[in-house]
C-alpha cells in the first residue's frame, strides 16, 4: 500500500467564479444564493454588498472580497496491491499474479469555496496565476488491474 499526500499552506486565489456569480452587476444573470443575504437597510451587517446595477462602483469590481485562502491537503494517490501466494498459483500454472487498485485525487481538504484550490496554478499566462476562472477540476480516477506471469 502506498499513499501520496500533497498540500499547500498560505496560498491565495482570486475566485473569479464568485466574482461573476455574486457580482450582481446585471439583473438578467444567474447569481449564487449568497446574494440573498446582501446588504440592505434591514441587513446592515452583511458581508455581501448591496444590489446595484449600472453604477460606476459595481459589486464585481476587483477587490480582496474575492480573494480566498487556497491552502489544502490532498490525498493525491492511493495504491493497494496484493500478490497471491505461489501455493495457489501452482495449481493454475501461473508463476505470479498481482491484483491492484489505484485511486487518484481521492479527497481534498480545504476551505476554498471553488472547485479546486490548485486550479489557479494551471493558467497558461504568468499574469493569470492564482486566478480561478472556473476551469474544470482534476478528475478522480479509479484504476484496477491484474499482472499475470506464466
pLDDT tens figures, 11-39: 999 998 888 888 777 667 788 888 898 88
Order of strands across the sheet that contains 141-149: 2-8, 72-83, 96-110, 141-149
Handedness of CA 91, 92, 95, 101 (dihedral sign): negative
Q: What pLDDT does 97 receive?
A: 93
The total number of residues shown for the chain amounts to 150
Cell of 34: 449568497
Order of strands across the sheet that contains 67-69: 67-69, 12-15, 131-132
Q: Considering just the CA atoms, what is the radius of gyration of the chain in Å?
A: 24
Is residue 121 over pLDDT 60? no
Q: What pLDDT does 119 receive?
A: 76
Amino acid at each position: 500500500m502506498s499513499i501520496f499526500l500533497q498540500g499547500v499552506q498560505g496560498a491565495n486565489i482570486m475566485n473569479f467564479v464568485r466574482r461573476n456569480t455574486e457580482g450582481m452587476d446585471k439583473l438578467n444573470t444567474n447569481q449564487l444564493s449568497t446574494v440573498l443575504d446582501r446588504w440592505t437597510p434591514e441587513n446592515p451587517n452583511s458581508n455581501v454588498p448591496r444590489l446595484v446595477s449600472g453604477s460606476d462602483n459595481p459589486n464585481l469590481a476587483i477587490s480582496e472580497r474575492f480573494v480566498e485562502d487556497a491552502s489544502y491537503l490532498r490525498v493525491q494517490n492511493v495504491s493497494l496491491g496484493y500478490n497471491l501466494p505461489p501455493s495457489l498459483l501452482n495449481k493454475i500454472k501461473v508463476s505470479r499474479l498481482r491484483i491492484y487498485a489505484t485511486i487518484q485525487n481521492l479527497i481534498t481538504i480545504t476551505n476554498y469555496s471553488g472547485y479546486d484550490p490548485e486550479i489557479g496554478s494551471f493558467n497558461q499566462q504568468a499574469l493569470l496565476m492564482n486566478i480561478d476562472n472556473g476551469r474544470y477540476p482534476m478528475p478522480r480516477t479509479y484504476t484496477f488491474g491484474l499482472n499475470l506471469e506464466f
